[in-house]
Amino acid sequence: MLQNINNAKPGDLIEVSGMVHNVRVTKWGGFIILRKSCGLLQTVVGDQSKFFNEQGEQITMSDLCREMAVTITGKVNEANIKDPAAFNKTIEVAVDKVEVLSRPTTAEVVDMNALKFGDEETLLRYKFDNRQVTLRNPRDMAILKVQSTIAKAFADFLTENGFTQIFTPKIVSEGAEGGANVFRMDYFGKQVYLAQSPQFYKQIGVGVYERVFEVAPAYRAEKHATSRHLNEYISLDVEMGFIKGQEDVMNLETELLRFIIERVSTVCKHEVELLGATNLPVIPASVPTWKLSEVHEILFNEHLTEDHRGEDDLAPEEERAICKYALDKFGSDFVFVTHFPSEHRAFYAMDDPQDPSLTLSFDLLMRGLEITSGGQRMHSEEAYREKMLRRGMNPDLFKFYLDTFKNGMPPHGGFAIGLERITACFLNIANVKEASMFPRDINRVAP
Amino acid sequence: MLQNINNAKPGDLIEVSGMVHNVRVTKWGGFIILRKSCGLLQTVVGDQSKFFNEQGEQITMSDLCREMAVTITGKVNEANIKDPAAFNKTIEVAVDKVEVLSRPTTAEVVDMNALKFGDEETLLRYKFDNRQVTLRNPRDMAILKVQSTIAKAFADFLTENGFTQIFTPKIVSEGAEGGANVFRMDYFGKQVYLAQSPQFYKQIGVGVYERVFEVAPAYRAEKHATSRHLNEYISLDVEMGFIKGQEDVMNLETELLRFIIERVSTVCKHEVELLGATNLPVIPASVPTWKLSEVHEILFNEHLTEDHRGEDDLAPEEERAICKYALDKFGSDFVFVTHFPSEHRAFYAMDDPQDPSLTLSFDLLMRGLEITSGGQRMHSEEAYREKMLRRGMNPDLFKFYLDTFKNGMPPHGGFAIGLERITACFLNIANVKEASMFPRDINRVAP
């Protein structure tokens, strides 16, 4: 008897376990909709179908309820399923036997679809308040399945390309991080911080393994409660040595994204269809790349935005406009913007030798949103000390970091992608919290 | 010209970048030992070799120093290399040209081998105090390369077997965790905790995806400073639904470990040789499995330990003795011990219906050390409430967790493996901190 529903063809006898997502009784029998990790499966009850409880005693279909765990045996039949949450629209199972393995406390389980709520905000609050159960909603399952697939594709591509996965500490001491937006905590009497990013550690990793990546939580104590921010998120970090320039980093990211999109489109075919997101982002052979000053020029000359020439950052209307321009003109859902002013970038960004007021750094925009910051980093100790002093930073607080460069470092650069943000962006989901299993924001630290 | 040294054969012309690990000048020329992420490469300088600095100006071999980043072009020759840190003992490169890409601040770089220290403790302290540079020591590189390979193999095997990777919060509120050994912190005015394990969340994940895994940091505020403990470590977590009993979980772990050992033995061939750890653990088709009471009996009857019959845990001498017994008698480096007393296991462990004073839980021992705890969990809300009340726990503090079972959960179980511990165990490394990139203990939170 076949055990894997993913390989099932009409005519197969199958044994399949899952949760009862729904029960519909009809005059002639009815349907049990089974929930599997891959989506829903329709099973059809007829007058030959038999039902057994946990003790093996015979029961009837009316004894079944939602969120029972069951094992169903039966025959796979051809079908034409309408429910978009069905993972395979061409099969159903004619039920021979249903065995109940376990059951909810009451038949009144949480409404995981929360369809009764009209407005978006109440719906979201309900969803997150009951996340331990509402996650069982096929739509939420699909979002996090895509998230999981992106993370795995990220690791697979980089491993294949000679990167070593590293695990760096999230509890860090003074000097490793700083600024206003860090969470502080007591560590056996010492004040320590939760890491905002593995930046210093991944650069150290380049001195060891040439190319490194990390998939790990990062923390920002920002007092936002917006649809674009999380206080705890998963950061996909990359850092690579022996680069000739930031172009090497941008090219790697381009190939990485191409690989991820391809993986999602095959592994998560059902999920992107269910979420109405089959228009996965398009990434051309070469992603349109402009300097910040060029973006201002283009958008002004093309009458696409107001005049932002001379400004030292992208206005939100420019982010949207340059993405639309790149899509219309170059068929790309992605745009690299480079050469941001030094004073607006982190101190470790390498200044452009052609114009030291600018940096060899980039943002990657996708569909109007910034999904990555990256660039080439400085690699000489003197350059770090000089820039720190210029910015009023105390180099003594960064001794272990500076020591890395003192002991020699290859030219290097890297970038970071927020996993929840790229997931939401791929799927056209407005609120990044929906791409987090248990989101954390200023108002929410449970469940 | 070939760019990838891993595929190089004698006769190839090659361009290879790396860090200068060592320079040895001889009468006739000398050697530049290049450090790559895969290990060391010997390059041979002759009278035709040319040297250039960062500006492209010609220099001499005596201008080179350790920890310069260089690109070397030359011809691959057959060789017979003695250095165990050479990743390929059969090749070297005859240097045509060396281009310096960047250099350390001074030629006096940190002694990353720290050979000058006699005693183990001083050596370790030095290593960890200067970890940002001592990681470049080929032995430490090898340890963390094996760690990285284990983590990747873990994710690959589970993904292949229908598990979904989840990312659960490390900032948790009261009720999610508890007890004395948690780190507390302030979260916008609320007291919160760093997660000791993703236990509750991975069980929730089973109600969603049937089978889930996570690779993430876990936190224990234990005041130990031993060779076996870390306050921040990477937990490899597995939880699976629709099990028939804890045997399903143990069988999965057995196959997972077999897969990991196979992967390490092929991908990390050089690293395990360098570390003298080619005796990777042996895992038979079926791992010897005894109940706790049976272990006491066997060891007493075989005169291998003192009489521990009737005791409710394994004595350390028993852990060592039963592992030796399993290896001698069954050719296994692993032993499952099951049926620990209920009062010594976490409240979520399922009690044995045959004898409710015992649990359907297991420890996996390897070479005398416990590397895993696991077992079947309870899945009915009533069972949780009853056991919590019996233990004096307040079920109201665990509402979101109990809600999961109230809404139905399949029979399930799982286990967790400490990444640093299993890495150290595979490689016969005495101190688990050596298997952590930047270890955290009661005395160390930097670098």
How large is the average pLDDT for residues B22-47?
97
Instruction: Indicate the pLDDT class of residue A225, thresholds 50, 70 and 90.
Output: confident
Bridge partners, residue B371, by sequence: none
Is the pLDDT at B112 greater than 80? The verdict is: no
Structure token pair of residue B4: 């990838």
Flag if B141 and A209 touch (Cβ within 8 Å).
yes
pLDDT at position A175 is: 62
Q: Which residues of A touch B184 (CB under 8 A)?
A: 185-186
CA–CA–CA angle A356, A362, A365 (5° rounding): 150
Q: Does B126 touch chain A (CB under 8 A)?
A: no
Question: Phi/psi class of residue A111: alpha, beta or left (left: φ > 0; alpha: ψ in -120 to 50)?
Answer: beta
Measured between alpha carbons, how far is B176 from B404 in angstroms, rounded to an integer? 13
Per-residue tokens: B401: 């967790």
Asked whether residue B175 carries a pLDDT value surpassing 80, the answer given is no
What is the interface pTM, i.e. ipTM, of the complex? 0.97
Lowest mean pLDDT, pick from A65-79, A137-151, B176-190: B176-190
Instruction: Report helix, strand and coil shares of chain B as percent, to nearest 5.
Output: 30, 30, 40
Interface check B105 vs A, CB under 8 A: yes
Residues 244-263 of chain B whose Cβ lies under 8 A from any Cβ of chain A:
none
Contact B109/A at CB under 8 A: yes
B411 CB within 8 Å of a chain A CB: yes
> Among residues A50, A53, A46, which one has the least CA distance to residue A25?
A46
**Partner-chain residue, chosen from B18, B103, B407, that has the shortest CB–CB distance to A133:** B407
For residues B383 and A54, is the Cβ–Cβ distance under 8 A?
no
- Inter-chain CB proximity B403 and A133 less than 8 Å: yes
pLDDT at A109: 77
pLDDT over 80 (residue B178): no
Residue of B423, B438, B431, B440 lying closest to B143 (CA atoms): B423
- Shortest Cα–Cα distance, A310 to chain B (Å): 34
> What's the CA gap between A393 and A396, in Å, rounded?
9
CA B267, B268, B273, B276 torsion-angle sign: negative
Kindly state the helix (H) or strand (E) to which residue A94 belongs, with its residue range. strand A91-102
**Given a cut of 90, is residue A117 above it in pLDDT?**
no
Best CA proximity match to A335, nearest among A319, A351, A348, A346:
A319
**Looking at residues A314-338, what average pLDDT do you find?**
97
3-state secondary structure of A152: helix
Q: How many CB pairs under 8 A join A and B?
A: 275
Taking contacts as CB-CB distances below 8 angstroms, the residues of chain B near A175 are 446
Whether A203 has its CB under 8 Å from any CB of chain B: the answer is no
Q: What is the pLDDT of residues B271-329, one digit of tens each?
A: 999 999 999 999 999 999 999 999 999 999 999 999 999 999 999 999 999 999 999 99
Cβ proximity of B336 and B289 under 8 Å: yes
Helix (H) or strand (E) holding B142: helix B138-160
| Residue in chain B lying closest to A242 (CA) | B17
Q: Which two tokens stand for residue A151?
A: 């993370």
- Give the chain A residue whose CA is nearest to the CA of B410: A69
Overall average pLDDT of the B64-90 stretch: 97
Mutate to test the interface with A, among B192, B208, B384 (most CBs of A within 10 A): B208
B141 to A192: CB separation less than 8 angstroms, yes or no: no
CB of A142 within 8 A of CB of A271? yes
Query: Taking a C-beta distance cutoff of 8 angstroms, is the pair B218, B236 a contact?
Result: no
CA distance A371 to chain B (A): 19
For residue B117, name the pLDDT band (cuts at 50, 70, 90). low
Q: pLDDT grade, residue A277 (50/70/90)?
A: very high
Residues of B in contact with A446 (CB under 8 A): 172-173, 175-176, 400
Give the pLDDT mean for A382-394.
95
CA distance A391 to chain B (A): 21
Q: Tell whether B400 is within 8 A of chain A (Cβ).
A: yes
Q: What is the C-alpha separation between A345 and A328, in angstroms, rounded?
A: 30
pLDDT for residue B225 is more than 70: yes
Residue A133: list chain B partners with CB under 8 A: 207, 403-404, 407
B178, B202, B345, B360 from B342: Cα distances, Å: 19, 21, 5, 9
Distance CA A320, CA A305 (A): 10
Name which of B166, B403, B406 is nearest A148 (Cβ-Cβ): B166
Interface probe for A, chosen from B34, B40, B73, B105 (most Cβ of A below 10 Å), is B105
Question: In 3-state terms, what secondary structure has residue A318?
Answer: helix
Residue A373, CA distances (Å) to A335, A345, A356 in order: 12, 10, 19
Cβ–Cβ of B404/A162 closer than 8 Å?
no
- The closest CB to that of B173, out of A18, A110, A445, belongs to A445
Could you count the other beta carbons within 10 Å of the beta carbon of residue A148?
Answer: 24
Contact in structure between A147 and A435 (CB atoms under 8 Å): yes
**Is B408 in contact with A446 (Cβ distance < 8 A)?**
no
Q: What's the Cα-to-Cα distance from A53 to each of A29, A59, A68, rounded to whole Å?
A: 19, 6, 10
**Token pair for B97:** 């040209």
Interface test with B, best of A106, A177, A438 (most B CBs within 10 A): A438
Q: What is the DSSP letter of A177?
A: B
Chain B residues with beta carbon closer than 8 angstroms to that of A241: 69
* Res A299 pLDDT > 70: yes
Summarize pLDDT for A367-384 with one digit per residue, the tens: 999 999 999 999 999 999
Q: Average pLDDT of chain B? A: 95
CB contact (8 A) between residue A110 and residue B403:
yes
d(CA B300, CA B309): 8
CA dist B19 → A248, A348, B35, B94 (Å): 19, 21, 5, 17
Q: Is B69 on the interface with A (CB under 8 A)?
A: yes
Q: Which of A166, A380, A446 sits opposite B173 (nearest CB)?
A: A446
What is the number of alpha carbons within 13 Å of residue A305 lying toward its C-beta? Answer: 20
Interface of A with B in 347-386 (CB under 8 A): 379-382
CB-CB under 8 Å, A185 with B194? yes
CB-based contacts of B446, cutoff 8 Å, min separation 6: A172, A173, A175, A176, A400
CB contact under 8 A, A210 and B241: no
Q: Which residues contact B404 (CB under 8 A, 6 or more apart)?
A: A132, A133, B203, B204, B207
pLDDT over 80 at B118, yes or no = no
B412-418, strands of its sheet edge to edge:
B164-165, B211-219, B232-241, B412-418, B369-377, B361-366, B334-338, B289-291
- With CB atoms and an 8 Å threshold, state whether A37 touches B211: yes
CA-based nearest distance A169→chain B, Å: 6
First-to-last C-alpha distance (Å) of chain B: 40
Assess A176–B contact: CB distance below 8 Å, yes or no.
yes
Please name the member of B103, B169, B242 whose beta carbon is closest to the beta carbon of A408. Answer: B103
Q: Decide if A141 touches B, using CB distance below 8 A.
A: yes
pLDDT of residue B396: 92
**pLDDT band per the 50, 70, 90 thresholds, residue A115:** low
Q: Would an 8 Å CB–CB cutoff place B409 in contact with chain A?
A: yes
Which residues, numbered 222 to 241 in chain B, qualify as contacts with chain A under a Cβ-Cβ cut-off of 8 Å?
Answer: 223, 231-232, 234, 241
Point out the least confidently predicted range of A324-338, B169-183, B379-393: B169-183
Q: How far apart are CA B38 and CA B87, in angstroms?
A: 6
Nearest to B155 among A152, A217, A446 (CB): A152
**Length in residues, chain A:** 447
Place of tokens 């025959």: A75
Q: With beta carbons less than 8 A apart as the criterion, state whether B208 and A141 touch.
A: yes
Instruction: Report the C-alpha gap between B309 and B114 in whole angstroms.
Output: 47
Model confidence at A321, pLDDT cuts 50, 70, 90, reads: very high
Mutate to test the interface with A, among B99, B171, B234, B399 (most CBs of A within 10 A): B171
List the single residue in B with minimal CA-CA distance to A399.
B447
For residues A112 and B99, which has the higher predicted lDDT (pLDDT)? Answer: B99
Q: Do B207 and A132 touch (CB under 8 A)?
A: yes
What are B19's strand-pairing partners?
B35, B69
Distance from the Cα of B141 to chain A's closest Cα (Å) equals 7
Quote the crossing angle between the two packed helices B199-209 and B399-406, to the nearest 10°. 30
Q: Is B184 an 8 Å CB contact of chain A?
A: yes
Q: Is the pLDDT of residue B224 over 80?
A: no
Quote the longest CA-to-CA distance of chain A. 83
CA A183/CA A442 separation, integer angstroms: 12
Q: Is B167 on the interface with A (CB under 8 A)?
A: yes
Q: Is B133 left (phi over 0), alpha (psi -120 to 50) or beta?
A: alpha
| Residue B82 predicted with pLDDT over 90 | yes
| Alpha carbon B16 to chain centroid, angstroms | 30
Model's pTM, two decimal places? 0.97
Contact at CB, A176 and B447, closer than 8 angstroms: yes
What pLDDT shows up at residue A228?
A: 86
Q: Are residues A207 and B135, on separate chains, in Cβ contact within 8 Å?
A: yes
User: E strand or H helix at A20, and its extent?
Assistant: strand A13-26
Write down the pLDDT at residue B176.
58
**Digit-coded pLDDT (tens) for A94-103:** 999 999 999 9
Asked whether residue B115 carries a pLDDT value surpassing 60, the answer given is no
Please identify among residues 25-54 of chain A the ones whose CB lies closer than 8 Å to any CB of chain B.
Answer: 36-37
